[in-house]
Amino acid sequence: MIYHITTPQDWRQAQEDGSYRADSLATEGFIHASTAQQIAATANRFYAGRHDLILLAIDEERLNAELKYEESEAGQLFPPHLRAAQPRRGRGGAPLYTTGRWHLCV
């Protein structure tokens, strides 16, 4: 599993559109994600104090697009990047996302 933090508004839009696309897909060419080991640091760095977030758990084996992991020169694993919008259902028709309300306490 990989994880992505979003807002209720963006998740509702994904439900209407039939696929999820973060703003970063248009501006940077990918959707930011995190591993289980990275999600707390990502949340603290970018979303400290927010109480209106949704955490998407994304099944890597059902993705319909490239998921790219990159390493720093020191061998540190950067958060993975998803290279395309994703439909709500992945390969085989199974749901791609699991959602849950998440309250960040810093």
* Contact call for residues 3 and 33 (beta carbons, < 8 A): yes
Q: Give tens-digit pLDDT for 63-91.
A: 777 888 887 777 777 788 887 666 555 44
- Domain coordinates in residue numbering, the chain: 2-102
Q: Where are the beta strands (DSSP E) in the chain?
A: 2-6, 19-20, 31-32, 53-58, 67-68, 81-82, 86-87, 97-102
Looking at per-residue pLDDT, the higher value among 55 and 101 belongs to 55
Of 13, 27, 32, 34, the C-alpha closest to 77 is 34
Q: Give tens-digit pLDDT for 25-59.
A: 889 888 899 998 888 888 889 988 888 888 888 88
* Contact call for residues 11 and 54 (beta carbons, < 8 A): yes
| CATH T-level topology, domain 2-102 | ADP-ribosylation fold (3.20.170)
Q: What is the pLDDT of residue 104?
A: 46
Which residue's structure tokens are 């209106």?
Answer: 52
Q: What is the pLDDT of residue 17?
A: 84
